[in-house]
Chain A
Amino acid sequence: MAVPRTTPRPPAEQASARPGGRGRPGEPRRVAYLYILPAVTVFALFVLYPLIRSGVFSLYDWDGLGTAEWAGLANYQAVFTEPALRGAFVHALVLIVFYAIIPVTLGLMLAATMSRARMAGLGFFRVVLFLPQVIPMVVVAVAWRQIYEPQGPLNSALRAVGLDALARPWLGDYTAALPSVGLVGTWIGTGLCLILFLAGMAKIPRELYEAARLDGAGRLREFTAITLPSVRGELSVALTLTVIAALKTFDLVYVMTSGGPGRQTTVPSYEVYNNAFLIGRVGTATALAIVLTVVVFLVTVVINRVGEKAQR
């Protein structure tokens, strides 16, 4: 017999049912904790505990070996005042341009072209552009390091066409090193953005474009009025992923430049590694890591908020 959901139970039954975990459907029940227990355990053990522990470390002056001394917020102060550590965040901001803004722009343009055009070999180009995503980062870094070498292919190509003045030791040059690393990020990120936007644009009904055409819209107007608003969701996903990648980039810098020349290409993650494992400043390293986590968290929240608002 089917009991309507709204049927009130006799008070006595309700009271006796409670300890057993049975309440009204939709009411919080204690047994629910059991269901989330596995996930919470894993989360607590591998995310929460290390995070809290890092937070504790960051309040101490510790070399990773001996006894630690209470340092209060001095490590956090160092993150914002030491030129070397502050510089790392500035470099991360520059990398956002190369990792996020350029790939998203390029990806949008490419996707808009590829989704409208009827051309042969579309699948091939899609694969080629996405390929960098599949290759392990370290392999990418080693390959690009060779391309950038003073006698490497890039300089040879420049010299071959008479642009000798442009040839330089790309990764050893004070002004060129950071953009050189950033361009590799662009090369990797573009494919991801392209695939995301292509998927988004595939959902747009063709009729919208026809209607726009009838109303006298040009290509550009079509793009701003139909394509762009339709992929807002994808846009915020792409931005979130690429901005996070920019902020926490490590492997490219570690393999390609070790933060050099001087400190021109240090990034927060590299400084975390450097401070914790190479020069024995675990307190500073964890403080830096916590700050980085907070920054990534805030950026993600802001991008998603903006994305959601725009969608409404």
Chain B
Amino acid sequence: MKHYLSGRRRWSAAAAAAILFLAACAPGGGSDDDDGSDGEQQASDVQTDPAEMGEITLTVWDQEVRGGQAAQIEQLNAAFEKEYPNITIDRVSRSTDDLRTTLRLALSGDDAPDVVQANNGRPEMGQYVASDLLVPLDPYAEAYGWTDRFPASIRALASYSDDGSVYGEGQLYGLPQMGEIVGLFYSKSKLDELGMQPPETTEELEAILAAARDAGETPIQFGNSEPWAGIHEFGFVQNQFVDAETIRDLGFGRPGSSWTSDDNVTAAETIVSWVEAGYFTEGFNGIDYDTAWQNFAQGDGVFFPGGTWLVADLTETMGDDVGFVLTPAGASGENLVTGGISIPWAIPANGQNHDAAAAYINFITSADAMATVAETGNLPVVDSADQPAEGLQAEVFEAWAEAGERDLLVPYLDYATETFYDTITAAIQDLLSGQADPQQFLETLEAEYTAATG
């Protein structure tokens, strides 16, 4: 028996040692040593001719899975491989949500992909930058002339300070292919039936909404069971009442503004009054986003506040019947529009082929690529004025150009803090279902905003 006991003691000693060893190594501590070793790269160090890079397999993780987006990336990948036969593209495409959840682990691993699409908000790109997981693109921007091709306002949306704490300044960490704005899609035939014109002001919009409801139409098609749609919907209303500077402070998580300001209260009260007046689809909390826009495409709904990523899909079903305008102007006096850039392409620090990755990003954002992006029904982030377009696409190009010229772009509200997405999506559902009144809703957001900005 003695022998048995001593054996057991030895086992427990070993187990205790293992636990101590595990406890000693804090999570995430190990990888920090490797990251700094790249050093600062200069533009002159950058190799820009993909043909001379040898045989390479470039692993690319993207989320271009919807109709027009999938078409453009497939065409561009084929063109790239044709032009540079020494480089093979290994494409891994996932839905936006799936990419978001897998990217975190992939970037921190040793075997990271070469090119990824990383959402430019703080919860993703901001955290990756803070942990040195993305390559700063400034040397490449200089070598390839991206600084000239892409205006500062666009580059700012994917720029961070080195420690990731300041958003909108510092080095460039990603490059987008498309612009996107959340404007107002409308059914031309339904507006005609009501004898109305596309709304330019909140007053005009509310008149149409009331007329549409009285005529038995669904005034605004809306589905919020995937709750991010609510961010667009609330932003659409907020943009009509709140000035650009306040929304930008709140959206980028910069100090200096407040969620509980009077104009924010008006915005929250207005959207609640629209719910009470029956301006949204009945039971919107139980309808998912895809069902909502498909219902709109099939003739249920006068308006659909939605993003330009739907242009190709809506044109396909509705043809000439669908139109697009910027957000109507309310008390803010401007047609402010939520939007920015499509999910930008970035280079993971742990990838093996940084130069080839940059060459690939350059290829898919070149002037030729922008033509392909436009042909497949998307909104090119630059050069959109050069592209031939008609119908809905032409209206979208025009709106995008106008938003750029008149400085009307305001950011998505969930960029603000790491956890703001979680907070605001639940808060908007609470607000729209009457579980929280406007004051409670805004205080919830204000609490998180002030906690983050100090």
- A residues apposed to B, CB below 8 Å: 18, 28, 30, 52-53, 56-57, 60, 62-68, 70, 148-150, 168-174, 257-263, 274, 277-282
Contact = CB atoms under 8 A, between A and B. Distances in A.
A183 to B, nearest CB: 15
Interface in B16-43: 18-19, 22-23, 26-29, 32
B226 interface: yes
Contacts of A63: 127, 131, 418
B346 to A, nearest CB: 14
Given A258-B226, A261-B429, A262-B429, A65 B130 contact: yes
B263 interface: no
B283 A172 contact: yes
Nearest 8 pairs of A and B residues by beta carbon: A172-B285, A169-B286, A172-B286, A169-B283, A150-B283, A65-B131, A66-B131, A277-B101
A108 to B, nearest CB: 34
Given A169-B283, A171-B286, A260-B429, A56 B27 contact: yes
Nearest to B29: A67
Given A64-B28, A278-B123, 19 more contacts: A18-B3, A60-B26, A148-B286, A149-B286, A150-B281, A150-B283, A150-B287, A172-B283, A172-B284, A173-B285, A261-B285, A261-B430, A262-B430, A262-B435, A278-B101, A278-B422, A279-B419, A280-B104, A280-B419
Contacts of A57: 27
Chain A, interface SS category: loop
Contacts of B227: 258, 260
B54 interface: no
Given A52-B22, A277-B101, A280-B123, A170 B28 contact: no
Contact of A172 (B19, B287, B421): B287
A52 B19 contact: yes
14 contacts: A28-B3, A60-B27, A64-B105, A66-B28, A67-B29, A150-B286, A169-B284, A174-B433, A261-B224, A262-B433, A277-B101, A279-B419, A279-B421, A280-B127
Given A169-B285, A277-B104, A53 B22 contact: yes
Contacts of B224: 172, 261
Given A65-B127, A279-B123, A260 B285 contact: yes
Interface of B: 3-4, 7, 18-19, 22-23, 26-29, 32, 100-101, 104-105, 107-108, 123, 127-128, 130-131, 133, 224-227, 281-287, 291, 418-419, 421-422, 425-426, 429-430, 433, 435
Nearest to B23: A56
B123 A260 contact: no
Contact of B28 (A68, A258, A262, A263): A68
Contacts of A260: 225, 227, 285, 425-426, 429
Nearest to B1: A28
Contacts of A65: 28, 104, 107-108, 127-128, 130-131, 133
Nearest to A64: B104
A32 B89 CA distance: 53
Contacts of B130: 65-66
B284 to A, nearest CB: 7
Nearest to B5: A28
A86 to B, nearest CB: 15
